[in-house]
Structure 1
């Protein structure tokens, strides 16, 4: 005995598959209303095509690092020391290129905002290079 659907609904499923086949294969958005589609990236959004943004990378502007950190850290993550923040980043599946520099910050420091953490990462990277 088959459970879950009867012959009528299975027949209707096949009809719908046949009706939607060309639309789904076309590669165009299936929504009829424009507002249903996804929003394109803004002109001032950082480029993420080159991989994750990390302090010390070629695209590591302070704004890009702050945006990347804020993707993984919430306001509830603060105040915290670098060890706790690195652990939070790893728990949120942040890239190692972002979590490792946070873990290398001085253990005695405490950060209360993403901006403070970003400033510390940028200055640590500047000191390491210079």
Structure 2
């Protein structure tokens, strides 16, 4: 059987496929030792996707019943749901008197979402 530009033999190809099968089916790492897994990003790594991280953090720690909410209500909900300090600091920069319908509106008010 012709394999084109494949650099491994058909047998090695089947071995590799078998090794990856568990990971592909489960959607999570299957190595017994953590040292063989790729390292996740550190908490202080620079994020490159703009406001999406802030919006995601807000959405993760706020419930639909929180909205509509002003700055103080958002802060209280975030604190009650143990949001990260960076998220709390960002929300503390919101102007007084504003009311927000969802996490996206909060992120926009902070200049983090398009």
TM-score range, shorter chain: 0.5 to 0.7
Aligned match of 1:117: 106
Question: Contact 1:66 / 1:114 at 8 angstroms: preserved in 2?
Answer: yes
1:50 aligns with 2:42: yes
TM-score, reference length from structure 1:
0.51
1:65 aligns with 2:54: yes
The higher-RCO structure (CA 8 Å, 6+ apart) is 2
1:92 to 74, 81, 85: 81
Distance 2:55 2:96 in 1: 20
- Structure 2 residue runs without a partner (length 5+): 1-21, 30-39
Q: The residue matched to 1:115 in structure 2 has which SS?
A: helix
Aligned-residue CA RMSD in angstroms? 2.8
Question: Where do residues 29-40 of structure 1 align in structure 2 (5 Å cutoff)?
Answer: 37=26, 39-40=27-28
Q: The residue matched to 1:122 in structure 2 has which SS?
A: coil
Aligned match of 2:91: 102
TM-score, reference length from structure 2:
0.57
- Structure 1 residue runs without a partner (length 5+): 1-31, 42-47, 124-130
Higher-Rg structure is: 1
